[in-house]
Chains A and B, each alone.
Chain A
């Protein structure tokens, strides 16, 4: 009885979670312009969306920013997590504090702080640069500052995830490698890295998702650069969204496809072991 009540409740929650997403997908196929009434099936918004140069550019910017930031965060975060294992005392407290602050301070404050810091540095540095070298690249807000600001949060995220994995790892494995005369680099490459790889991947994916979906931080430090969330926000404010719904549906479809693919790859990777343990079909 109680179990059935809970199941019904869970069903309602899933409905609540997916109804708005379903609505977006539905509207993206709407022949009419109005979101409130469905007038017929059409693919016209997909055509409009991919014919819209500004929007395709924004999508490209978002992809390149998210990819760059997630890669940088994965590498820097892993380096930091590894190094922090050997750091103790006040320096450890300092780094833990910095990671904590980077994760906790709201994006809106990070965005503002980065904006005014870069604006201040820019006003001081650019005249100097120009004095030394007329064609010096100008230090300004844009693609680079979005990547830099995202990487701060993403890096802290990766450190926390990789560190949790390192903490759960058997230190004797590394000892054994050292006993077997492995060089430090060899131990890292052949023992540590394979063990923490899932954590790095998880961190990378979270970082990518955050960066790809971020509006708040980017809205402050974007300069003239437009990312997909910035474009979407502007469209929502103008009330023009059918083509935005089409892009969102495409992104959702790609995400689901990647998840299914990842699941298949994982299954394939695990199959030999599963066969050994569980006889019979499946796995």
Chain B
């Protein structure tokens, strides 16, 4: 009983430990047991599947579809066959991210700096759409953008022949709609933390509002901007539903190519190569963006985790 009481550590103890053989060993066992389930999950459902994808990407398509063992780089050399998907993703994902930023920033600024009353309520209203089905919200845009929706209203005011559904514009509208809340939040947090006295000081020093914004507010909110952009960009790179529903098979992303390759043409090895290419592009792009952000001096707070 006494030895048990001498244990200096709680389950969550972040304390320096007495390096005694007994308690130390017990601690290690407890830690290992705590980590066991998640380790099992990581190995069985993350590492192993990704390794399988890597192996498949070097194989060949079986005659009936699926995978046949092999060792070839042909799938990677064949990637240009899906070039449109890559160029679509690599243009629409950054453009979509930028649009989200442009539309989200003023709202975040409004919520953080201008709103005095009912702030919590207004914030909840920004995230509430997230609790409704993403599919259905996007579906609502199919109705709004197709012939009997916005184009027919535009025709009433004399602008005829506008086609929205199944165009890149429709996809971009869907993107801004779907991911705006995700961009608003990190920017809001960094603006909220901003010391309002800095703004007063700038005004006292005769900075006009635009100069104050450019030299004080914007640089100080940069961490939030970077976090929001990374978050949205990462999600957009793997986007499937928005181009599927609003792009109607004409504007497709890498995600759509993947679904086609795995579920329709059942070319698993080529699909695996596309998947690996997508992950590699993402890691490189996010790495570059993080590095750029660090260069801009937003070092400390830029973190997705």
Interface residues of A (CB under 8 A from B): 2-3, 6-7, 9-10, 13-14, 16-21, 23-24, 27, 35-37, 75-77, 79-80, 82-87, 95-96, 98-110, 112-117, 120, 148-149, 151-152, 155, 159-160, 166, 171, 174-175, 177-178, 181-188, 191-192, 196, 209, 213, 215-216, 219-220, 228-229, 232-233, 236, 241, 244-245, 248, 251-252, 255-256, 259
Q: Closest Cβ of chain B: how far from A28's Cβ, in Å?
A: 10
Does the CB pair A174–B137 fall under 8 Å? no
| Complex alpha-carbon distance, A155 and B14, angstroms | 22
Given contacts A20-B144, A79-B34, A113-B52, contact A185 B11 (CB under 8 A): yes
Given contacts A112-B275, A114-B49, contact A13 B255 (CB under 8 A): no
Q: Which 7 A-B pairs have the closest CB atoms?
A: A106-B238, A187-B10, A20-B140, A113-B49, A83-B34, A188-B11, A117-B49
Residue numbers in B under 8 Å from A251 (CB-CB): 132-133
| B278 in the interface (beta carbon within 8 A) | yes
| Complex alpha-carbon distance, A23 and B304, angstroms | 34
Does the CB pair A79–B132 fall under 8 Å? no
- Chain B minimum-CB-distance residue to A98: B42
Q: Closest Cβ of chain B: how far from A55's Cβ, in Å?
A: 13
Residue numbers in A under 8 Å from B122 (CB-CB): 10
| B41 in the interface (beta carbon within 8 A) | yes
Does the CB pair B238–A10 fall under 8 Å? no
The stretch of B80-88, B123-131, B192-200, B217-225 in contact with A is B123-131
Does the CB pair A86–B126 fall under 8 Å? no
Mostly helix, strand, loop or mixed at chain A's interface?
Answer: helix
Does the CB pair B37–A76 fall under 8 Å? yes
Does the CB pair B53–A86 fall under 8 Å? no
- Chain A minimum-CB-distance residue to B40: A76
Q: Closest Cβ of chain B: how far from A221's Cβ, in Å?
A: 10
| Category for how many chain B residues contact A | 35 or more
| Complex alpha-carbon distance, A100 and B124, angstroms | 27
Residue numbers in A under 8 Å from B14 (CB-CB): 85-86, 166, 171, 174
Does the CB pair B139–A174 fall under 8 Å? no
Does the CB pair B305–A160 fall under 8 Å? yes
Q: Closest Cβ of chain B: how far from A209's Cβ, in Å?
A: 6
Q: Kindly identify which residue among A117, A228, A232 contacts B48, using a CB–CB cutoff of 8 Å.
A: A117
How many A-B pairs with Cβ below 8 Å? 252
Does the CB pair B5–A183 fall under 8 Å? yes
Does the CB pair A103–B304 fall under 8 Å? yes
| Complex alpha-carbon distance, A105 and B132, angstroms | 24
Residue numbers in A under 8 Å from B238 (CB-CB): 105-109
Does the CB pair B10–A178 fall under 8 Å? yes
Instruction: Show 29 A/B contacts (Cβ-Cβ < 8 Å), sorted by A.
Output: A6-B109, A17-B125, A17-B129, A17-B177, A21-B132, A21-B140, A83-B30, A85-B14, A98-B42, A103-B304, A108-B238, A108-B259, A110-B46, A110-B49, A112-B258, A114-B45, A114-B49, A152-B41, A152-B42, A184-B10, A184-B13, A209-B130, A215-B135, A216-B241, A216-B255, A228-B133, A229-B135, A232-B135, A248-B132
Does the CB pair B35–A233 fall under 8 Å? no
Q: Closest Cβ of chain B: how far from A140's Cβ, in Å?
A: 16
Given contacts A112-B271, A229-B135, contact A174 B12 (CB under 8 A): yes
Q: Closest Cβ of chain B: how far from A211's Cβ, in Å?
A: 13
| B294 in the interface (beta carbon within 8 A) | no
Does the CB pair B240–A108 fall under 8 Å? yes
Does the CB pair B53–A24 fall under 8 Å? no
Given contacts A182-B10, A251-B133, contact A115 B15 (CB under 8 A): no
Residue numbers in B under 8 Å from A113 (CB-CB): 49-50, 52-53, 275
